Amino acid sequence: MTEYLKGFIPYKGEDAEKYNKYRYWAGLTFGDILDRAADIHPEKEAFIDGVSRSWLELVEQTAQRNRPAVDDMSVTVLQDDYRTIDKEVQEAWETQGRHAFLHHLNAIFGYAPVVVYEKKYMKF
């Protein structure tokens, strides 16, 4: 007899048979599928949402604008480069973050119109 975790409700027998028959279930765990995908596409992210992707693109674009010459690479130059990138990304957040925050929050409400009255810094 199969033991289930407490609170688990198994599929009905006929449903499980159908899912196996039509190969809806591949007999793989989510971890197995993730491992296979990582083997096939090691250069790609496993989990990333639009907000994270946008942030990573902002960092990459900022880094490309500030990239030191290859022959100038040293720990000090790289640290200065990282500080410059961090400063520019922070400034972008301070000046453009309100729009991004409101946009993504508004998605929860199906992009219904919203009225914003005040122009000031917000802290969360």
- pTM score, two decimals? 0.47
Look at residue 70 in the predicted model and tell me its pLDDT: 61
Look at residue 40 in the predicted model and tell me its pLDDT: 92
Look at residue 116 in the predicted model and tell me its pLDDT: 73
Q: Break the chain into its structural domains and give their ranges.
A: 9-47, 60-108
Q: Hey, what amino acid is at 92?
A: A
Look at residue 87 in the predicted model and tell me its pLDDT: 92
**Series of mean pLDDT values for 10-residue runs along the chain (124 residues):** 75 89 83 87 77 80 75 74 88 79 78 75 61
Q: What's the chain's length in residues?
A: 124
Q: Are residues 37 and 46 in contact, defined by beta-carbon separation less than 8 angstroms?
A: yes
